[in-house]
Structure 1
Amino acid sequence: MKALRGLPHPVLSLLLTVIWLMLVNTLSFGHLLLGAFLGWAIPLLCRDFLIEVPRVRRPLQLILFVLKVFGDILVANLAVAKLVLGPKERLNPAFVEVPMAIEDKFVLAVLTSIISLTPGTVSADLSADRRTLLLHALDAPDPGQLAAEVKRRYEAPLLEIFQCSPT
């Protein structure tokens, strides 16, 4: 949906209005008016901080990807619990540099969020040119393999799902 000058994010405005009505649990005219005002004002005041979401070109693949990420989070929780409860000598913490092919700010934010949501890894830094992601892993016996896995499991599918060009 194309943004209008006075309504920079129409979908977000509608979503905020609906969320307001759900929070107050009332469909009165006054709350509808207040929700519409909040839905208009919040995106307008925050427009300089919001980034554009690229078009999803493969919605079914996005659903499958989200399910895969949830599965990875579950498996990583179990693996981290096993590592933390075991002997400390088994841990191989490391900082790993992962070269990025993603240029889009939103998709890059999604990738770094996925990495940080998966127990045992956290996005630590992004180079100034956004070409290298530094991540910390609780257990990374082979940092090169971890970097390749991040690119294969997360970066490549995100580049296919969203309409953005890789470098």
Structure 2
Amino acid sequence: MTALLPHPVLSAFLLGLWLLLNQSISLGHFLLGSLIAVAGGLSISTIEMPRARLRKPAAAVRLAVIVLLDIVRSNIAVARIIVASTPPVKSGFVTIPLELRDHYGLATLACIITSTPGTVWVSFDSAKGLLLIHVLDLIDETAWVQLIKTRYERALMEIFE
């Protein structure tokens, strides 16, 4: 059974998604969805992705709450910038040296930065460990470096490394 369903959760998700998208639980859709679910699970198993290890799940929950609050706070700040008729804001790029090297930690950091309005992940130089982000309202570059390193990078290193 493990050879046919190497990723049972993914396969179940794909089957459920297929049934939801087709808005039908008929036998035909169930069989076709099952075929797609099995094929999807088998195709993912060929990628050979390394397993992610969460060292401290409590830190992950704490980081999720921080990110959620930051997203709300950032949405309000960006809305004020857009609505206000004050002089235009100064946007710019910030280079941040990162110690984080775990692929899952970097992917999580990319999701955090791009989901927070006003910031965008631009590039990451893995050889030098330099992250380049674009900030909509760049007032103090060192404040952004400290924010990313202390608020997100430290927590991600605690979770993944």
Partner of 1:63: 61
Amino acid in structure 2 at the alignment position of 1:129 = A
Partner of 2:105: 107
3-state SS of 1:123 partner: strand
Gaps in structure 2 of 5+ consecutive residues: none
Question: Quick one: percent identity of the two aligned structures?
Answer: 35
Partner of 1:97: 95
TM-score for the superposition, normalised by structure 1: 0.77
3-state SS of 1:111 partner: helix
Partner of 1:9: 7
Partner of 1:87: 86
Distance of aligned partners of 1:122 and 1:15 in 2 relative to their CA distance in 1, 3 Å threshold? same
Gaps in structure 1 of 5+ consecutive residues: none
Distance of aligned partners of 1:112 and 1:70 in 2 relative to their CA distance in 1, 3 Å threshold? same
TM-score for the superposition, normalised by structure 2: 0.80
Q: How does 1:1-167 map to 2 (within 5 A)?
A: 7-24=5-22, 26-27=24-25, 29-47=27-45, 51-52=49-50, 54-84=52-82, 85-89=84-88, 91-129=89-127, 131-161=129-159, 164-165=160-161
Distance in 1 (CA, whole Å) between partners of 2:14 and 2:128 is 31
Superposed CA RMSD: 2.7
Is the 1:102–1:159 contact (alpha carbons within 8 Å) kept by the matching residues of 2? yes
The alignment covers a number of residue pairs equal to: 159
Distance in 2 (CA, whole Å) between partners of 1:49 and 1:95 is 34
Distance in 2 (CA, whole Å) between partners of 1:52 and 1:9 is 14
Is the 1:52–1:106 contact (alpha carbons within 8 Å) kept by the matching residues of 2? no
